[in-house]
Structure formats: structure tokens, C-alpha cells
Structure 1
């Protein structure tokens, strides 16, 4: 009884700390323009207010901050209306919702990336605030079509509290093919903003709170042999109650797929288009090895774990060769059998010319790079061992999701809770099918999937969203087809972990008033 009382107090303390993180998270401050750059703000001030024409650029910048663009209040109000009108037109241009115009009302753009734009919208029937991700020209190229199909086929069967929820899918006709829209729950923030928006470092219980949820989401995916392949803090969305959800499954892939004909295209694309994810890229992707598995996600977990501790990128490479040199400096030279698997002569020569280096101590590495208190790492043998087991050149020797959840650093700080559903086998079979399709087949399949999903959501929408994915658990027959025995799958059914927040506590913690504040203030 005493233990339960103490454990309850601990839960309340962690909740309060998570709430405080959001309270003190702030956006990066605007910096004044450099002397050799033309500032649009000061340029507008110079043209509109001639009395400031001879003022220095720094003074113009300060005037601009105080008075918008240097206009009188009446003119400033008119200028703001013009800006609001331009924003609305841009929003309408980016999100031509056509069929869904009566269902969703766009509010504002909240993010954009290489493959899509995200807007906040209101679902008119329920008044819920949602996030709509637009994948423009989804059928224009094989890569875009395959990415979109992957994301749809993963999310449509997923039902897990630590993975984003897909509420609806629809499409519109664009100039270069179809535009696909994915409607998901609106989240308050992402882990990247939380890491760099707080002045104080994470306390250990907060760190384990986020890390544990990431591991539990990966446990669900890896049970179906699905590798995310693009894990990074900006793809980990966080709500006001501290719930973390994995997002952006465009690079997800079935890890045991035997078909390799698209590997060269994928690796080439990964190298050129995903430079921003270099600090989280596993050696097998950097070295362009002929095959990779869910172990690439575990490497990324180690990078994210280190980044939460030191509040900066753990392996901050800015080019492929620079990242490889950084790995060689930190981890030493890979084993010879790993080097022999490298097909790129230039990469192999780079490693051999670099020479043999002894690996550094991880506690010294993170202590030297840290921007704050390092009590979490300094002298914490469990934390250091956890990092070491994640950063292994050989993917087979790298700690898997099962071992990570059973590692003393995690297990001793999280309560074990039984009975978690297995990721549906349908996800795995659908993902394998995607990799073997030609471009025309991809377009046809994408249109069929969106049309089928659209009709399904229409039928069940009155009964509550995500009914499509709810209850689709893996059957014994599916396990036999996938080659998974009852014994090998029992871990995923009986050994899910949580850090003390049960389901009711996780989702009942935020009041209605807080939800309103959350929706109104949400940013990507």
C-alpha cells in the first residue's frame, strides 16, 4: 500500500514537470539582420517613412519591431488586413479541399517539408481541430507515389497511442497528378522544439518518459518488421499531456522484404534529399550496405537519446563523408567484415585511409558536448551502457527493441504493464507489395487505396474516427503465414511497458479547457 502511494506521488510529479516544460518552452528569438544583408522590414520602413531614411539599419529594425513596418496605426491596420488576405489566399491555394470543403475548414499553415505541407483545420461536424497533410503531385514520380502509399498503408491499420492516428484520406486533381490529403489528430508540438525551446536540461524522469513512449511505439512497428527509417526529434510529436507519437512514415519499409530492385534508388534518394537526417542515419545507410533492418531505428533512438541529454545533435555531420569521418572518430574503424560489405569503393577507401582509431568513452563525449548539467550521464553506468549497445557498427550486434525495453536503464525506471496488441499482419503484407510495383501500377494502386479509404471512412465516420483500425489484431493464422510462432510473439503480447501512466491517466489528464488552449495554440 505504501509503495502504491509513493508511486502515485511520483506520477503526479512527472506530470507536473511535463506541464512545466510546455509552459516554459519558447520560440527562438528573432535576430537583427546582418549589415551586409538587405532587410525586407527595414527596406519597407525606408520606402514608407522617409523621415527614417537616414537612420542606421539597426534603428530601422527596432522601429519595425515596434510599429510593424513603420506605418501609422490606421495604415498599419489596413496593411495587416492585406497580409491576412494574402495568407488566406495562399492557404486556399495550397489546400484546394474541393470535396472536403464542407467537412474541413482550413485555419492556418503550420508546417512544410520536402514532400508536403501541413495545415491546421477544423472538422465542421465535430468542431475538432485536426492536422491535414497535403502530399502534392503524389503520383508524379515513382518515389513520391511509393512514399505516399507507404504512409497510407502503415497508418490505416495502426491503432497505438504512441503513433499518429489517421482520421481520413481524400484526394484532389493537381497539375502534375493527384494530390493526396491525410487527416490526422492535431498535436501541440514536437520533440525538437521541446529540446531546444527550454533553457534547462531534461530531468531524468522526463527523459525516460519520452524515451519509453518512443520505444513502445517502435515495439509495435518492429513486431510487424516495419522500419520507420526517418526517426528524428521533429518527427516525434508531443501533446500537452506529454503523450509522444511517431509521425511521418514516408520512408517506412518492410525490413525483411527480399526484393532488392529498388534499393539503389532508395539509397541514392536518401543520400541526396535527406541531408537534414544525417545526424540520425545508421552506418548501414551511410555505407550503402546491400541490406538493412529495423536496427536503423535503434541507431536513431541512440542519437535522439543523446540529443535529449546534451541538448544538441550527438553526431552533427553535415555531409555524407563528414558524417562517416565523425563516426570513425567516435567509434573507431568498423570491423573488417563490415568494411568488406561496402560496395562503394570511395567509401571503403575513405575508411581505410582514415586509419585505425580507438573509440572514445561515451560519458566523456556527451559531457564535453553538453550545454548543462550532466548528472544523467556522468557516472551513470546504465545510461552509458544503453548508449554503447545502440551505437554498434554491426546491425546484428546492435540492441534491438526487445532488449532496449528490458535494459536496466529503462526497466528500472518504468512499470511493466501486460497485454498490448500486436501490429496487424496486414501492414506487413501491404508494405511488401508496394516495393514491387512499377510507376503505372503505383499510380493505379494509390488511386484505389485512397478511393477505398475515402469510402470506408464515410461509412464509419458517424461511429467515431479510427474505427477502421481499431480491433485489427494479429490472429494465429496470420502469425503462421508470417512465420511468427506463438512463443516468439508472446513478448509483444505480454511485455509492453509504461512509465506509470495508464491509459486512463494518459488520455484523461487534459481538461476540456486545456484542450481548447492546446488546439488554439498548436504549432507544427
Structure 2
């Protein structure tokens, strides 16, 4: 009997290529980027590997392009898109994803936004769950240190990531790690009641992130700070040791139950701060819970416990955010000091990022769409072919109010890179499973990110003066801030 497998495989390949072409229609950017294969999908976007044309080749490497479909269709999606673009367009740090290019096209339900990033080999999820043997302590410390470096950079600007998890931490086989997916990033200055609605929507759409959600987010408390990221770091740290999720809840109620069982009953002050009455009653229904010892929570068979690691996890996963370890304190902990005894000088997150983030949070849907359009078309079309460096982009935005710029880092991650070899699979087909929301690059220091923002639907280039247009946007941002 003849085998039909080859014929069916060809049909499936043709269907996949056809779907890829439908999903990634780049407009006039098609002469620059050619989609090659889909490498992931998530609740808010899909990602493809793409080839860059010879006329626009920066380093000869393929890129990852994240498509946010119908980005302007709802206020939540528009705000999420604008957050990520505004955070990443000025950030330049060895441990944070690099945004190379952004463009948009028209869609049936609103604009489609495409974010071009450098292609990475895998994610921390691949490293943790793909390894045949437990991760060595020096590799765990190396990866943890890079997460903390990236967080210190954004936390100094008062920005909380709010969606840290292993699949949002991208890695290469040399051990280089980058933080990705800033769609939920927010200034950590507290929230308002409108935020609670977004929080509930976010939980229903991102069940997989529940194991990393801090109690103050899980309980819908009013004030959120950068401490939410440190709790997630503690969960990720423990997961690297256990090779399984620390608190593996699959629903809000089950996650609350697991947290209470392990960490004990929240303080009366925390319970009083909970806005949701149903959540408050649910917590109180468990009565008084005694916290378990961390030697029991993070228990690994056939492996001697590392008490310094357990002590650090216990401080990172404190129930009360006011006593939780912050990012600066984490660098002073003995576990980190053992592997990284020297204190390094870090660059400063541009103040423009903070201004932009502030302007995003309290504006209506129509204004969000207007800001997305302005951000995307802030450069002439010719500049697509002539990439600007990050410093040049920032200098276009300099104003009297924003005089402090990036302080160059005297030490790059390569100086601390141990070139550690691990047994997890982080290349080839494994990279297809983790690009759920974002992708990033591994060579930020050798390639200045391109922020050539343009409208891919326009067939004729715009000739507006770049600097004049940017100054207008600056005034618009500051107007939003002063009016709040």
C-alpha cells in the first residue's frame, strides 16, 4: 500500500506557509522583512522568524517579529501595546530585550503593530524543564544575577514589569539572558480602581502566570510596587532548583489556597487592604494558617539543600510586600555575593521612559490610538534604511526637563559571562515553544537598536522634520502629565 505521508506533509507545509503569509502582511515593509516560520503565539500576539533584506542588513542575522493584531481595537490592548513600545524604544541594557524596529499596517479591526527584535535561541523555561539533570548552582546564580541586573535598571526608574515568568526570560546557549514582554509594565506608583478591571481581565487571559503572581496582585490590593517583580523572582529562583513551579495554581482560587497553605495567613493590615470582598471572605474562610518551613517547600530529593539560596527565596517571597527583599538588597545577599563579589556600576534608565509610561495610564481609548500613531510614525521612511543609534534617538528628544541621559556601563554582561555549558536544549525546534509574547536579542552592545518608526501603509515617504516632530510629541507627553 503506498505511503501518503510525504504528500500530506507537503500539504501541511503549504498550509502553514499560506497562513504565515496571511498573518504577517508587512505592507511596504515587505521589501525589508520576509517571514520564514512561526515560532510562537500567545493571548496578545504571534511571533515569526524573519529574514532581513540585503539592503537593510544590520548583522546578517534573522530577526523575530512580534505581531500585535488589532492593537487599537480595545483600550486594554492599545494600552498594552503602547506600554511595550514606549518602554523598549529608549531602553538599552544587556539583560533587557532589544527593540530594533516598529511599524504598523491597517487591519479590519484596527491597526496591526509589528515589533522587530533580535532572535534568541530559547527561554529560561526551556533551560529549566529541558535539562536532563538538575541545574548547577553556578548556572542558577549566573541566570539569577542577570534577571536582577535587568530589574535594577527598570526599578530605578520606578517601573514594574508585572509579568515575569520563565517563558518571558529569553536565553542563548552561552548563558546570556534578557527580560522580554513589557506589555504589562507600569509605573509602580499605586493603582486606581480602573486598574482592578484590567487586573481581572489579565488573570482570566493569563492563567499560566498565576504561579508567579505576588499576593498583592492575587488579592487585588490597591497599591502595587516593584515588589511584585521580586516575588516573581523568588518563584523563578525556586523553580530553577525544583525544576517545577513553586506554587502551581491553575485558577485564582487554587492559587490563593496554595499560597496560604505555604506562606501562612496574611496580616490583618493586608486583609483590610483587599478591595474585593469575595477574595477577602475566601481568605478568611481558611482560618489561621501557619507558614511551612522553606526546607519543606523547596525540597529536592537526592540534592543537598543550599541554605543560603533558601534564605534568599524566603526573603523574596515574603507575603507582605513592605518587608520583601528589594532589588538593591538582593545584590548584597550572601548567595549572590558568593558568585559575584564585586559591585558593578550600572547605566541609568532614561527619564523619558518614566514620562512616557506616566502619560499612558490615564488617557482614553481615542487618545491611546492617537499616541500609538504618533509613536509609530515619528521618523521619515528613509530612516528605515539608515538605522539610527539609540543615543541619536534619545538626543532628538532632549528637552530642558530631561537633561540626564544614559550613563555608559563600565562593565558589560560579557565580563561576567561564564560561558556556562548546560544540558538543556535551547536551539532549533525548542525555540518555537516559548515566544508567546516577545523576542529579543543577544548582541545589544554590538548593535544599536533601530527605532525607525513608520506607517507601512503609506506608499509615499513623509518629509517632516524629525526633530521638530519629536519636540511636538515631547510637549504632548508633558501636557498629558501636567493635566493628570
Q: Could you tell me which residue of structure 1 aligns to residue 303 of structure 2?
A: 374
- Closer, same or farther in 2 for the Cα pair 1:215/1:475, shift >3 Å? farther
Aligned mate of 2:70, from 112, 119, 137: 137
- Is structure 2 residue 124 aligned with structure 1 residue 191? yes
- Is structure 2 residue 51 aligned with structure 1 residue 119? no
- Is structure 2 residue 288 aligned with structure 1 residue 353? no
Describe the SS at the equivalent of 1:109.
strand
Hey, what's the Cα distance between the residues in 2 that align with 1:185 and 1:461? 17
Describe the SS at the equivalent of 1:270.
helix
- Contact 1:425 1:474 (8 Å CA) reproduced: no
- Closer, same or farther in 2 for the Cα pair 1:413/1:317, shift >3 Å? same
Could you list the per-position Cα deviations for residues 120-163 of structure 1 after superposition, in whole angstroms to 9, with x for gaps in the alignment? 00111224200000000000000000000000000000100101
Describe the SS at the equivalent of 1:151.
helix
- Closer, same or farther in 2 for the Cα pair 1:267/1:522, shift >3 Å? closer
More helix by share: 1
Q: Could you tell me which residue of structure 2 aligns to residue 296 of structure 1?
A: 228
Give the drift of 1:256: 1.6
Hey, what's the Cα distance between the residues in 1 that align with 2:215 and 2:354? 25
After superposition, the CA RMSD in angstroms is: 3.0
- Closer, same or farther in 2 for the Cα pair 1:430/1:261, shift >3 Å? farther
- Is structure 2 residue 222 aligned with structure 1 residue 222? no
Map 1:390-469 onto structure 2 (within 5 A).
390-452=316-378, 455=379, 458-459=382-383, 461-463=385-387, 466=390
* Structure with greater Cα Rg: 1
More moved, 271-280 vs 305-314: 271-280
Indicate the structure whose relative CO is greater, using CA pairs within 8 Å and at least 6 residues apart: 2
Give the drift of 1:108: 0.0
Could you list the per-position Cα deviations for residues 188-217 of structure 1 after superposition, in whole angstroms to 9, with x for gaps in the alignment? 000111111111010100000110000000
Give the drift of 1:412: 1.9
- Closer, same or farther in 2 for the Cα pair 1:187/1:332, shift >3 Å? same
Structure 2's unaligned 5+ residue stretches are 436-484
Give the drift of 1:77: 3.4
- Contact 2:125 2:166 (8 Å CA) reproduced: yes
Describe the SS at the equivalent of 1:133.
strand
- Is structure 2 residue 246 aligned with structure 1 residue 320? no
Hey, what's the Cα distance between the residues in 1 that align with 2:45 and 2:362? 24
- Contact 2:249 2:258 (8 Å CA) reproduced: yes
Could you list the per-position Cα deviations for residues 301-321 of structure 1 after superposition, in whole angstroms to 9, with x for gaps in the alignment? 000000000000000111111
More moved, 215-224 vs 412-421: 412-421
State the TM-score, normalized to the length of structure 1: 0.75
Give the drift of 1:240: 2.1
State the TM-score, normalized to the length of structure 2: 0.81
- Closer, same or farther in 2 for the Cα pair 1:233/1:470, shift >3 Å? farther
Hey, what's the Cα distance between the residues in 1 that align with 2:168 and 2:92? 18
Give the drift of 1:457: 8.0
- Contact 1:425 1:478 (8 Å CA) reproduced: yes
Structure 1's unaligned 5+ residue stretches are 1-48, 50-70, 481-488, 511-516
Hey, what's the Cα distance between the residues in 2 that align with 1:346 and 1:496? 49
Hey, what's the Cα distance between the residues in 1 that align with 2:275 and 2:335? 37
- Contact 1:255 1:294 (8 Å CA) reproduced: yes
Q: Could you tell me which residue of structure 2 aligns to residue 31 of structure 1?
A: none
Could you list the per-position Cα deviations for residues 415-451 of structure 1 after superposition, in whole angstroms to 9, with x for gaps in the alignment? 4253321001111110010001101111111111111
Hey, what's the Cα distance between the residues in 1 that align with 2:26 and 2:83? 22
- Closer, same or farther in 2 for the Cα pair 1:261/1:349, shift >3 Å? closer
Q: Could you tell me which residue of structure 1 aligns to residue 415 of structure 2?
A: 502
Q: Which runs of 4+ in 1 moved over 4 A?
A: 463-480, 492-498, 517-522
Map 1:207-246 onto structure 2 (within 5 A).
207-246=140-179
- Closer, same or farther in 2 for the Cα pair 1:308/1:97, shift >3 Å? same
Hey, what's the Cα distance between the residues in 1 that align with 2:392 and 2:19? 33
Give the drift of 1:393: 1.8
Hey, what's the Cα distance between the residues in 1 that align with 2:143 and 2:310? 18
Give the drift of 1:465: 6.0
- Closer, same or farther in 2 for the Cα pair 1:208/1:473, shift >3 Å? farther
